[in-house]
Amino acid sequence: MKTSLTFLIYLSLGATLFGQGITDPKEIMKKSRDQSKLSGIEAKTTLEINDGKGNQRIRETSMVSKIFSDGTEKRTILFLSPADVKGTGILIWDFEGKEDNMWIFMPALRKSRKIVSAEKSKNFMGSEFSNADLAVGNIDDFTYSIEGVETCDAQPCWKIKVVPISSSIAAEYGISFKTTWISKNDFMPRKTEFLDQEGKIWKELTFSDIKLMDAKTDKYFITQMEIRNLKNGRSSKMNMTQMVYNPAVKEDFFTLSYIEKQ
Return d(Cα 29, Cα 27) in angstroms, integer.
Answer: 5
- Dihedral sign (CA 145, 150, 153, 158): positive
- Dihedral sign (CA 153, 239, 106, 41): positive
Return d(Cα 256, Cα 169) in angstroms, integer.
Answer: 27
**pLDDT exceeds cutoff 50 at 4:** no
Task: Label residue 9 by pLDDT band (50, 70, 90).
Answer: very low
Least confidently predicted of 79-93, 116-130, 173-187, 228-242? 116-130
* pLDDT for the residue 133: 87
**pLDDT exceeds cutoff 80 at 6:** no
Mean pLDDT rounded to a whole number for the chain: 88
Question: Is residue 1 one of the residues assigned to a domain?
Answer: no
Question: Is residue 4 one of the residues assigned to a domain?
Answer: no
* pLDDT for the residue 93: 95
pLDDT digits (tens, 9 = 90+) for 62-114: 999 999 998 899 999 999 999 999 999 999 999 887 888 999 999 988 889 99
pTM of the model: 0.85
Question: Is residue 7 one of the residues assigned to a domain?
Answer: no
**pLDDT exceeds cutoff 80 at 19:** no
**pLDDT exceeds cutoff 90 at 216:** no
Instruction: State the total domains in the chain.
Output: 1
pLDDT digits (tens, 9 = 90+) for 152-164: 999 999 999 999 9
Q: List the domain range (segments joined by +) for residue 49.
A: 22-260
Question: Is residue 163 one of the residues assigned to a domain?
Answer: yes
pLDDT > 90 in the chain, percent: 68
CATH number at residue 53: 2.50.20.10
* pLDDT for the residue 110: 86
Question: Is residue 174 one of the residues assigned to a domain?
Answer: yes
Three-state SS string across 34-61, please? Answer: HHCCCCEEEEEEEEEEECCCCCEEEEEE
* pLDDT for the residue 228: 97
Question: Is residue 13 one of the residues assigned to a domain?
Answer: no
Region label for 224, one of left (φ > 0), alpha (ψ between -120 and 50) or beta (otherwise): beta
Mean pLDDT of 53-67: 95
Task: Label residue 231 by pLDDT band (50, 70, 90).
Answer: very high
Mean pLDDT of 179-187: 96
Q: Is 138 helix (H, G, I), strand (E, B) or coil?
A: coil
* pLDDT for the residue 10: 33
Question: Is residue 2 one of the residues assigned to a domain?
Answer: no
- Beta-carbon contacts of residue 77 (< 8 Å; ≥ 6 apart): 45, 61, 62, 63, 89, 90, 92, 134
Q: Are 225 and 207 in contact (CB under 8 A)?
A: yes
Question: Is residue 209 one of the residues assigned to a domain?
Answer: yes
Task: Label residue 20 by pLDDT band (50, 70, 90).
Answer: low
* pLDDT for the residue 3: 38
